[in-house]
Amino acid sequence: MNSTELSAGFQSAVTLARYIYGELNFGSDACVCLLIVLYGDPRGKAYRKYIFSLQVSVQISGSTSMRESPVFLNLGRCSYEWLRTHYPIQLSVNVRRIIVSKVVQCRRRYCEWLALKNMLKLVCLQMIYASCFFVVMLFMILQLIREIKHGMTQASSSTKRYQKRAVHSLIMQGTVPSVTFIFPAVSMLFLFLYSMIAGPKEAANNQIASKMSVLSINGMSLHAFAHSLTIISCSPSYQKTIFNLMRR
């Protein structure tokens, strides 16, 4: 096997895994959406509208986002994305390269470096944007915990228990899906930094970097599935509904 290429077995395993858990993810996410719409929840219609809109947005973003690893994207080595987005992505990449080469009038290597540098800025901005929302959500959760601990001294035990369950649900629904997104995003950021230090060609020829890139971008697609699991785990009524449907 050439040291600059990924093994055929690894690429076949990744492709097969994408098809299998891609279909499983879509099916589970769709079932959770139907569960929210068709079956009630003690927390009320407002909560159901909130989690339904959140579930749909997560599912759409997960199914339409680009599934290409960053090292492969720059040099056009290989890509792992949904079939319906393959040709539009390839067309946009080719058009971008033609425009850059004609307008800038510089060498191909410099164009690749420029594109990689701009891509790094975009990734950093996205991570800063996500980090700001994470800080805001963390502040809100800490404020809720403080209110339950100090501001509800006169409340009944059932009210306190209900509020604790609500805070636990918020923490679970915000933390568990984020883990499946944050770790791959950080891994991709380090891959971008490595590509800028070692050079795009050297990074693409590195098997470890290429495998990390492929596995990271595939790990991101588990975000919607993790979100579906947290919705079910934080709702005893939905768990009971699922058990009743399975017994029929």
Letter for the amino acid at 215?
Answer: L
Q: pTM of the entire structure?
A: 0.52
For 152-164, b/e burial (b = at least 16 CB within 10 A) is eeeeeeeeeeebe
- pLDDT for 11: 67
Question: What kind and span of H or E run contains 219?
Answer: helix 207-220
pLDDT at 218 over 60: yes
Alpha helices (runs of H) in 65-206, residue ranges in sequence order: 70-75, 83-104, 108-150, 157-198, 200-205
Quote the CA–CA distance of 244 and 177 in Å, as a whole number: 27
Contact 59, 33 (CB under 8 A): yes
pLDDT tens digits along 20-76? 766 777 777 778 778 777 776 666 666 677 677 777 776 666 655 544 444 444 444
Find the mean pLDDT for residues 183-204. 75
Contacts of 185 (CB under 8 A, 6+ apart): 123, 126, 127, 130, 216, 220
In this predicted model, what pLDDT tens digit does every residue of 100-153 receive, in sequence order? 444 444 344 444 444 445 555 655 666 676 677 677 767 777 776 777 677 666
Amino acid 195: pLDDT: 74
| Cα–Cα distance measured from residue 34 to residue 52, given in angstroms and rounded to the nearest whole number | 9
| Mean pLDDT along residues 176-182 | 74
Closest alpha carbon to 181 in 235, 141, 135, 134: 134
Taking the C-alpha atoms of residue 212 and residue 71, their distance in angstroms, rounded to an integer, is 10
List the structure tokens of 185.
Answer: 């995003």
Instruction: Please report, for residues 36, 49, 50, 121, 122, the alpha-carbon distance to residue 46 in angstroms, rounded to integers and kept in the order given.
Output: 12, 5, 6, 38, 35
Instruction: For residue 82, report the phi and psi dihedrals to the nearest 5 degrees.
Output: -65, 145
pLDDT tens for residues 195-209?
777 776 677 677 777
pLDDT tens track for 238-248:
777 777 777 76
Write the DSSP string, 10-67.
HHHHHHHHHHHHHHHHHHHHHHHHHHHHHS--TT-HHHHHHHHHHHHHHHHHHHHS--
User: What is the per-residue pLDDT for 95?
Assistant: 40
